[in-house]
Amino acid sequence: MILPACIFTYAGGALVLPWTVRGALRAGLVPVVCEDAASPLPGHVRGWLMHEGIDLITTTFPRRGNLNGTDCAAGICRTLAETALRYGATHVLKLDDDTVVMDRRVFTRHRHARAVGLTWPDGRPGAYGMAYMLRADVAEDAAACLDRSPLRPGAPEDITIWEAVSRKGRVVERRFRPHKGPFSALPFGADAVDGAARFDVLNVGTPPRQGWTNRAVQIASELQRVANSGYASVRSRWPPL
């Protein structure tokens, strides 16, 4: 099953992005980096992606910071649908640039589902934007639906997209379990080294209890620890830069 993974990033994700790309490759995904035209990746990162043969596309829809707005959600869905079409894939994955997929089967075992998302058991509606899978036709339909919706500039993309997708049929929601299961939010959800092997998806963008000192450096460091320690304990090491 070909499963493209659209990784939405911008200039501020330059330090983190290579680790996410390596993780996607190691998990058997086809990473497609989606940079923001308003905040493009620096030249050396673009050069690395070209050297590694990674597909890079530049999106022009407004992102409003951390992917907000119904027009942003429509742009994401359209990008997902177009990517699936380009690769001849039935499904496509959306990834944040601070998220690593350890085992793609958390998504592919539900290959007949319209959508598969990861949720917290806290009553928050919908799936979290760090990682979710949509069927190609569902992504296209959601984009068209959101294009017709009234503009809501502050609407988070994940909640907005999940509402559009859920409205027309059943979706699969995998819930977080702190000891083992679909995903964990790091750095305080589980230790990157000791806990990585227990989860299918890891997100390291959640602020630590003491707050960020340097967000990009801390996230990149955490992803590197996963790559070189916890991840390597049960799978081959990721290739170096």
Q: What sign has the CA pseudo-torsion 142, 145, 148, 150?
A: negative
170 burial level (CB within 10 Å; 0-12, 13-18, 19+): exposed
Q: What is the DSSP letter of 102?
A: S
The tokens for 57 are: 């596309």
Q: Tell me whether strands 30-36 and 4-8 are parallel, antiparallel or unpaired.
A: parallel
* CB distance 44 to 15 below 8 Å: no
The 10 Å CB-count burial string (b at 16+, else e) for 179-199 is eebbbbbbbebbbbbebbbbb
| Phi and psi, residue 231, nearest 5° | -65, -40
> CA 175 to CA 228: how far, in whole Å?
27
For residue 203, what pLDDT is reported? 76
For residue 119, what pLDDT is reported? 82
Domains parsed from the chain with CATH numbers: 4-177 (3.90.550.10)
For residue 183, what pLDDT is reported? 56
For residue 240, what pLDDT is reported? 37
SS3 142: helix
> CA 107 to CA 93: how far, in whole Å?
9
For residue 23, what pLDDT is reported? 85
Q: What is the DSSP letter of 36?
A: E
Alpha helices in 135-237 (DSSP H): 136-147, 157-166, 192-195, 215-225
Alpha helices in the chain (DSSP H): 17-26, 43-52, 70-87, 105-108, 136-147, 157-166, 192-195, 215-225
Mean pLDDT of successive 10-residue segments in the chain (241 residues)? 96 89 90 98 96 96 95 98 97 93 88 87 75 96 95 94 90 72 50 57 70 73 65 39 33
The tokens for 186 are: 């790091």
